[in-house]
């Protein structure tokens, strides 16, 4: 389900940060374990179109500090088998008297068996009620040796007592290589019952001729230089703890 700022789906917490925050009486810890029919990341599959398991943890510390992370059983296009994909993040968020919230932080991504794909990002964002906007910057995105900016808008609302809808629109820009630019979005519905969460979404991306091939996975090349649209339905089921 869409949540503002650091309450993004998933996250495997860094052990040291987890211990620090958990030691605080004001720290709040939450997490989930589940499976998705395809691990989609910014419109592209990081599991080669296959189902993936995911374990996540989020920690809200005292005075606005937060941390968290996730581990996913992913598979990059060049890989012949599944490997662990890790994400860790930390930052600071603050709510203003007007109801507007802001945040800033850093995230790090690591791919077991493919260290050349590891990368880091810094991010900043704003949130108000059910809407949020975020901007990410990476000096070396996913092993492409490119500086990138990724902007995203998120929102959602109620469809009744048990269901919610959510959406996201994003754009990835590589200032030094326009062929890597891509637009993507997600539209879906979700529900929760006694600790279980289920969601169904349609993920759509407009791809150019670099960074993703016909399989829709990072690390492969497209066969045509022209832009194309790619869409996929994704089903997810998770248990919160």
Tens digits of residue pLDDT in 151-204: 999 999 999 889 999 999 999 999 988 888 999 999 999 999 999 999 999 999
What pTM was computed for the model? 0.83
For the chain, give the percent of residues with pLDDT over 70. 81
Residue 123 contacts residue 134 (beta carbons within 8 Å): yes
pLDDT over 60 (residue 225): no
Range scoring the smallest mean pLDDT among 15-24, 27-36, 83-92: 15-24
Band of residue 212 on the pLDDT scale cut at 50, 70, 90 = very low
Query: Token pair of 210, please?
Result: 């670099």
Contact between 188 and 202 under an 8 Å Cβ cutoff? The reply is yes
- 15-29, 72-86, 89-103, 194-208: segment of lowest average pLDDT: 15-29
* pLDDT of 227: 63
Residues in the chain: 241
Instruction: Write down the mean pLDDT value for the chain.
Output: 85
pLDDT of 9 strictly over 50: no
Tell me the C-alpha distance between 218 and 180, whole Å.
12
List the alpha helices (DSSP H) in the chain. Answer: 15-22
Sequence-distant (6+) residues with CB within 8 A of 94 are 64, 101, 102, 103
pLDDT reported for residue 217? 52
| pLDDT tens, position by position, 107-151 | 999 999 899 999 999 999 999 999 999 999 999 998 788 999 999
Asked if 117 and 143 touch (Cβ cutoff 8 Å), the reply is: yes
Q: Average of pLDDT values for 10-15?
A: 39
Q: How confident is the model at residue 235 (pLDDT cuts 50, 70, 90)?
A: very high
> Contact 43/204 with Cβ under 8 angstroms?
yes
Residue 220 has pLDDT above 60, yes or no: no
Cα gap 232→104, rounded to integer Å: 31
The closest alpha carbon to 192, from 12, 34, 28, belongs to 34
pLDDT at 62: 81
- Bridge partner list, 128: 131
Tokens read off for 158: 């109620």
DSSP 33: E
Distance CA 116, CA 102 (A): 32
Which pLDDT band holds residue 226 (cuts at 50, 70, 90)?
low
110 near 121, Cβ under 8 Å?
no
* Residue 5, pLDDT score: 41
d(CA 134, CA 93): 13
Select from 117, 120, 157, 134 the least CA-distant residue to 8. Answer: 134
Q: Which residues contact 32 (CB under 8 A, 6 or more apart)?
A: 10, 54, 55, 56, 197, 238, 239, 240, 241
* % of the chain exceeding 90 in pLDDT: 68
Cβ 162 vs Cβ 190: under 8 Å: no
Q: What is the pLDDT of residue 4?
A: 39
């Amino acid at each position: 389900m869409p949540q503002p700022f650091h309450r993004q789906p998933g996250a495997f917490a860094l052990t040291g940060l987890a211990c620090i925050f958990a030691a605080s009486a004001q720290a709040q810890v939450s997490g989930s374990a589940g499976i998705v029919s395809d691990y989609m990341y910014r419109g592209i599959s990081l599991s080669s179109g296959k189902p993936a398991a995911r374990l996540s943890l989020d920690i809200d510390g005292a005075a606005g500090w937060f941390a968290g992370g996730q581990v996913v059983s992913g598979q990059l296009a060049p890989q012949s088998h599944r490997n662990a994909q890790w994400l860790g993040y930390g930052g600071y968020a603050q709510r203003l008297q007007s109801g507007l919230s802001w945040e800033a932080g850093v995230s790090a991504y690591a791919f077991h068996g493919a260290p050349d794909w590891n990368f880091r990002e810094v991010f900043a964002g704003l949130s108000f009620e059910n809407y949020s906007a975020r901007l990410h910057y990476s000096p070396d995105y996913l092993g492409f040796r490119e500086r990138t900016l990724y902007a995203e808008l998120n929102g959602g609302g109620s469809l009744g007592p048990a269901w919610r809808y959510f959406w996201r629109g994003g754009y990835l820009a590589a200032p030094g290589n326009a062929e890597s630019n891509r637009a993507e979005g997600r539209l879906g519905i979700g529900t929760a019952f006694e600790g279980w969460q289920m969601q169904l979404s349609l993920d759509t991306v407009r791809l150019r001729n670099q960074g993703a091939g016909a399989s829709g996975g990072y690390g492969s090349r497209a066969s045509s230089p022209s832009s194309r649209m790619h869409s996929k339905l994704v089903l997810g089921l998770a248990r919160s703890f």
